[in-house]
Amino acid sequence: MHRRLLVTAMAFSMASGTAMPALAAPWSRGFVVSAYEYAFRYGGRPDYSRGAEVEPGVDCPHGSTVHLASPDYTKAAIALQKWRSQQEIDWVTAPPGVDQSKTPGLARRHIWARAMSYRGYKRGIETYVNPWAADDPGQPEVTSRIGDGFNLDGKIKPNDFISPDGEKGIDNALYRAWGCDAPWRGGGNATLDLRANDKMQEGLYTMVIRVSGNRDPRNDSDAIMEIGYSPDATVKDARGDISTGYSYRILQPAQYTRLKARIHNGVVETEQVEHLHSPRIAWFYDQTGDTNFINGKIRLNIAPDGLSATGLIGGYRNWSDLYSENTFAQDGGQQGTREHEDAVALYYALKRNADGMWNPRTRRYDGISSVYRIKMSAAFVVDPDKPMDIPKLAPEEERKAAFEGIKQALVKGADTRVPQSVPPGTTEASYPALEHEMIGMPSREYFLKTLDRPHYADEDANDMPEREPAVPQQPKQQVRNEEPVVAVQDQ
């Protein structure tokens, strides 16, 4: 307790603009990230409306995407496959006897998800592992010229954005590609923004930043910024906000980068580095890992009192990684029916807008310029007493391995144009959830016989996996500055 109070006092003394005069002496300021999301802008007149379209704004005049949000959208999507019979299209859209199942809403959603998971040019090709084998449903893209970010390539191109303060040449192609996608669209209040930040704050992972120098914390031409993973879960106050003044360790072996920086009137600008490593946005353990921004940089705006800061992190990200991290967090079908986004449309939008990391072998860009927005609270960022790696959550490592396996299958299929099977250990195509949810439905056997699904070597005589997937644990409370127990969210 004495150490914690001492650390807190030190953090506030370094954060305060009055307690410590600006002297030419070593200084350090730390922050813990409280919000972490894609830097998508969103706006428009309060009275701007287009009837039934969802949340239109000046950047997306036709509103947000509503893929797979209703029977009509579902029917239109599955009717594109010429190999489906009319009965299959009609029954998937409105499953006969679904109200006789134990959970009609879930049964209907899982039927839709399984049908959506097989939309290739022929039966048996799983859609989300092989999105290139399905028709492009079309993804509305951002039309606005205003966007947050950096001029990553040093050029001013016709399609570049202009920053809110007037800087030209802003590279943020991810915003153009995905900025109208409903679950990511908003000013921090989109559904996946909220979900990811909620899980981060509950202890799934923690990201910290430390800025240090030898002159003045608000004006220093020779500063250092460090960004990285912390094994210590964030601390909240009584109102649920991230508390200031707590200590967090920063781990340097992975998900960590040290950058040179300049500070002018509290604005920190880092150098641009070949690889900028930091934790990635995640709301499941299997998504967690390293972002690896190529040609990345950071800008922070530190509040005058030093107790908070906002900023941008940008660079080129491998767009196959972005697709996988979003689609396979749970499975593509559930993302579609729950979040009303179509990962196939997102795949083609990424491919269309890719603008960095040229691959001479494939003669295409592997990267897309991406910018993330962060908010932070003052903290004391310290080195661990002894070197340590990022902790692993043993019960979830099998699921994480399946996540990595499906990413590799996606890349292989896209490169070779050979359809890939679904690796074991995933929940793609709502298998085996659909088999359980349809119990009691008179049309159950029809759907089991008609709809495609993954097949694995360990299935029993009833076509069920011999070993059920592990049930995710409930989040556990983490003790400050002890070896962490990473929270796992429910399905």
Three state DSSP letters for the chain: CHHHHHHHHHHHHHHCCCCCCCCCCCEEEEEEEEEEEECCCCCCCCCCCCCCCCCCCCCCCCCCCCCCCCHHHHHHHHCCCCCCCHHHHHHHHCCCCHHHCCCHHHHHHHHHHHHHCCCECCCCCCCCCCHHHECCCCCCCCCCCECCCECCCCCCCCCCEECCCCCCCEECHHHHHHCCCHHHCCCCCCHHHHHHHHHHHHCCCEEEEEEEECCECCEEEEEEEEEEEECCCCCECCCCCECCCCEEECCCCCCEEEEEEEEECCEEEECCEEEECCECCCCCHHHCCECCEEEEEEEEEECCCCCEEEEEEEEEEEHHHHHHHHHCCCCHHHHHHHHCCCHHHHHHHHHHHCCEEEECCCCEEEEEEEEEEEEEEEEEEECCCCCCCCCCCHHHHHHHHHHHHHHHHHHHHHHHCCCCCCCCCCCHHHCCHHHHHCCCCCCHHHHHHHCCCCCCCCECCCCCECCCCCCCCCCCCCCCCCCCCCCCCCC
| Residue pLDDT tens, the chain, 491 long | 334 443 444 444 444 444 444 457 899 999 999 999 999 987 655 565 555 566 678 888 888 888 988 999 999 999 999 999 999 999 999 999 999 999 999 999 999 999 999 999 999 999 999 999 999 999 999 999 999 999 999 999 999 999 999 999 999 999 999 999 989 987 778 899 999 999 999 999 999 999 999 999 999 999 999 999 999 999 999 898 999 999 999 999 899 999 999 999 999 999 999 999 999 999 999 999 999 999 999 999 999 999 999 999 999 999 999 999 999 988 999 999 999 999 999 999 999 999 999 999 999 999 999 999 999 999 999 999 999 999 999 999 999 999 999 999 999 999 999 999 999 989 999 999 999 999 999 999 999 999 999 988 777 655 555 554 443 333 333 333 333 333 333 33
Q: What is the pLDDT of residue 160?
A: 97
Residue reference for tokens 């559904």: 191
* Structure-token pair, residue 127: 């859609």
* Structure-token pair, residue 30: 């730390």
Q: What is the dihedral of CA 211, 389, 36, 274, to 10 degrees?
A: 70
Query: Which residue type is seen at 90?
Result: D
Strand 364-382 and strand 247-249: the pairing is: parallel
Q: What is the pLDDT of residue 189?
A: 81
- C-alpha neighbours within 13 Å on the C-beta side of residue 33: 33
Q: What is the pLDDT of residue 66?
A: 87
Asked if residues 276 and 291 have their Cβ atoms less than 8 Å apart, the reply is yes
Longest dimension (CA), the chain: 79
User: What is the pTM assigned to this prediction?
Assistant: 0.88
Q: What is the pLDDT of residue 484?
A: 38
What whole-number distance in Å separates Cα of residue 197 and Cα of residue 32?
13
Q: What is the pLDDT of residue 474?
A: 38
Nearest residue to 256 (alpha-carbon basis) of 280, 226, 296 = 226
Q: What is the pLDDT of residue 396?
A: 94
Residue reference for tokens 């990391």: 357
Q: What is the pLDDT of residue 44?
A: 57
Angle 457-463-466 from CA coordinates, rounded to 5°: 60
What whole-number distance in Å separates Cα of residue 390 and Cα of residue 382?
15
Q: What is the pLDDT of residue 62?
A: 80
Q: What is the pLDDT of residue 17?
A: 43
